[in-house]
Structure 1
Amino acid sequence: MGIIAHLKAAEILEQVWHARHEVPAGYSVRNVVFMGMGEPLDNFDALLGALRGLTHQSLFDLASKHVTVSTVGASPERIRRLADAAPKVRLALSLHSATLPLRQQLIPSATSMPALTDALDYHARSTGCGLMVEYLLIDGVNDRQCDADALAAFCAERDAASASAMPLMSRKQARAAAGYVNLIPFNPTEVGAAHGYATPSDESVERFHAWLREKHGVNALVRWTSAVGRDAQGACGQLVA
């Protein structure tokens, strides 16, 4: 779809305001994730303004640990700036492949892996927060055992960087510093079909999940709920296409 406009901080916060007034009685907005609205780090100043508003006690008063910024990691320098400016806000990375050639195929803006991992490790050391990895599983593309092995190695390196920041951390700190992986089965779109991408079978997803958890001990979760709305072309990743 391309960039139409950058939202102002107030426009971002207004979405949360509307969400607060739409939730049923007895419920509240407790978590906010910057995802599915373009690349947040491309709109860095407005992002910081929105983060300040979300966590300010006189505005939305959300705990920083309940706010997550998701990025494809195209700007390692801005990941470092985010760590300095909002050290308690959590970070999510849309990875989709732990090897650069395949990652660049899936994410054309992907930068070099050393630059990206250096920035991620800086974020971990600065914040003490573990990285959430978003991994879209595409049938026959990035759901092989070699892909799981590469992803597990990537996660192990990031966890080691977090641990090195706090060698005497408590169990509570260790849990906060440990990263985890969200496995998201691909939802079909016309654009995806044009590239030959298809949804993996449930068995394939479970096998990939088992490789991560049982073979490598990676904290991973399958987001089966991402398929909700698939029949109406409104599931995760389908809204624009």
Structure 2
Amino acid sequence: MVEIKGLTFKELEEFVQSLGLERYRAKQIAQWLYKKRVKTFEEMTNISKQARKLLSEKAVIDVLRLVKVEESSDGTRKYLFELPDGNRVESVFIPERDWNTLCVSTQVGCPVGCTFCLTAKDGFTRNLTVAEIVDQYIHVQRDVGEKRRISNVVFMGMGEPLLNFDNVKKAVEIMTHRDMLDLSTRKVTISTVGIVPGIERMAKEMSKVKLAVSLHATSDDLREKLVPLNRRYSIKDIMRALRRYPADNVRRIMIEYVMLEGVNDSLEDAKRLAKLVKGLKVKVNLIPFNYYPGAPFKPTPRERIEAFQRVLWNHNIAAFIRDSKGQDISAACGMLRTKEKACHA
């Protein structure tokens, strides 16, 4: 069966033609899938009954099953989805005053193994398909309703997006196509731990979307302990790739830096970070660590994060502190999945 939400618009046209249907049917089907978010082909009432029957024999619409939703007092919603093979992934809906953001997963587990990340504890199982990525958006938009349209998508959930590059690229194409989800490319952000070949491919193939790089340290010695993949792609390698990346004032590169008490949060760290990114069109996102039971690190106190931020501003580096959402639910990435697994063990 074809996962129809995994087809780009061109592929959808080719698919309907392979079934003996007219090419213009692709646009009609896309409208039903992405604008009206139907669950069955039977709901596509401007398509003949025979065509609907044929489509239902050859393709599947929904590939995810919603298992659980947790809602925070601030409106943040965390979703646990089951995939066709029984694996599970998470998505997070984050409401803001003027926009709504969806954080999507790209892999089951993660092969990178960052020592502060809960998702890494379960290791890596597989990449998500294109449809499994896109379907997260569809399911969440159905749940939150039309009045709260998801305007921003961040590839910052479970997994390393650039290690699933081809499927992520196709998912972005579907999300930004005018006849599909019709998001602005400027509202899509892909976060990487620093996969240099992936950053270089992004520069050539997806430079219209925003790039975020999870740096988390200012020396290779420390970064290798926090992000083992640093042994393959050093800070110097990452910075070299970023200096060649086509950023501008509208699409600045985001440097993500999780604040770990007594580990990477000194004022000297801040000065080294300012030196590293000097001359780049970047903004720095300081992320309070989301503590989870058994975590080997503690969150940096707020006042120290603010002192770190001041050092960056004093060096003319735009630095912001991420507003931690969903603190009264399973906030850390992977926590809801882990909790549910423990409940059914």
Alpha-carbon distance in 1 for matches of 2:165, 2:334? 25
Pairing partner for 1:151 from 254, 257, 273: 273
Q: TM-score, normalised by structure 1?
A: 0.82
Alpha-carbon distance in 2 for matches of 1:144, 1:58? 49
Asked whether the 8 Å contact 1:124–1:131 carries over to 2, the reply is no
CA gap 1:27/1:224 in 2 versus in 1, 3 angstroms: closer
1:101 maps to a residue whose letter is D
What secondary structure does 1:46 align onto?
A: helix
Query: 1:125: Cα distance to partner?
Result: 5.5
Alpha-carbon distance in 1 for matches of 2:225, 2:191? 20
What pairs with 1:124-135 in structure 2 (closer than 5 Å)? 124=246, 129-135=251-257
Residue 113 of structure 2 is matched in structure 1 by: none
Residue 217 of structure 1 is matched in structure 2 by: 316
1:217 maps to a residue whose letter is N
Pairing partner for 1:53 from 164, 174, 187: 174
Asked whether the 8 Å contact 1:186–1:198 carries over to 2, the reply is yes
Query: 1:192: Cα distance to partner?
Result: 2.6
Residue 286 of structure 2 is matched in structure 1 by: 183
Pairing partner for 1:2 from 123, 136, 143: 123
Residue 84 of structure 1 is matched in structure 2 by: 204
Asked whether the 8 Å contact 2:153–2:188 carries over to 1, the reply is yes
Deviations 1:179-231 (A, max 9, x none): 211111112234433xxx21122221221122222x212211111324x32x5
Pairing partner for 1:199 from 294, 299, 312: 299
Give unpaired runs (5+ residues) of structure 1: 160-178
Query: 1:36: Cα distance to partner?
Result: 1.8
Query: 1:62: Cα distance to partner?
Result: 0.5
Query: 1:37: Cα distance to partner?
Result: 1.6
Residue 65 of structure 1 is matched in structure 2 by: 186
What pairs with 1:137-176 in structure 2 (closer than 5 Å)? 137-159=259-281
Pairing partner for 1:235 from 310, 321, 331: 331
Residue 175 of structure 1 is matched in structure 2 by: none
Bigger proportion of residues as helix: 1
Query: 1:9: Cα distance to partner?
Result: 0.7
State the identity %. 36
Asked whether the 8 Å contact 1:30–1:62 carries over to 2, the reply is yes
Alpha-carbon distance in 2 for matches of 1:181, 1:125? 14
What secondary structure does 2:147 align onto?
A: coil
Query: 1:12: Cα distance to partner?
Result: 0.5
CA gap 1:205/1:124 in 2 versus in 1, 3 angstroms: same
Asked whether the 8 Å contact 2:207–2:246 carries over to 1, the reply is no
CA gap 1:201/1:126 in 2 versus in 1, 3 angstroms: closer
Alpha-carbon distance in 2 for matches of 1:123, 1:61? 25
Alpha-carbon distance in 1 for matches of 2:137, 2:334? 22
Alpha-carbon distance in 2 for matches of 1:78, 1:127? 22
What secondary structure does 1:33 align onto?
A: strand
Could you say what the CA RMSD is over the residues aligned between the two structures, in angstroms?
2.0
CA gap 1:99/1:61 in 2 versus in 1, 3 angstroms: same
Query: 1:127: Cα distance to partner?
Result: 10
Query: 1:93: Cα distance to partner?
Result: 0.6
| Range that drifts further, 16-25 or 96-105 | 16-25
2:186 maps to a residue whose letter is K
Deviations 1:13-35 (A, max 9, x none): 01111122122442201000001
Residue 213 of structure 2 is matched in structure 1 by: 93
| Range that drifts further, 184-193 or 99-108 | 184-193
Runs of 4+ in 1 over 4 A off after TM superposition: 125-128
Deviations 1:31-55 (A, max 9, x none): 0000122000111110111011011
Bigger proportion of residues as strand: 2
| Range that drifts further, 203-212 or 125-134 | 125-134
Report how many aligned residue pairs link the two structures. 214
What pairs with 1:13-52 in structure 2 (closer than 5 Å)? 13-52=134-173
Q: TM-score, normalised by structure 2?
A: 0.58
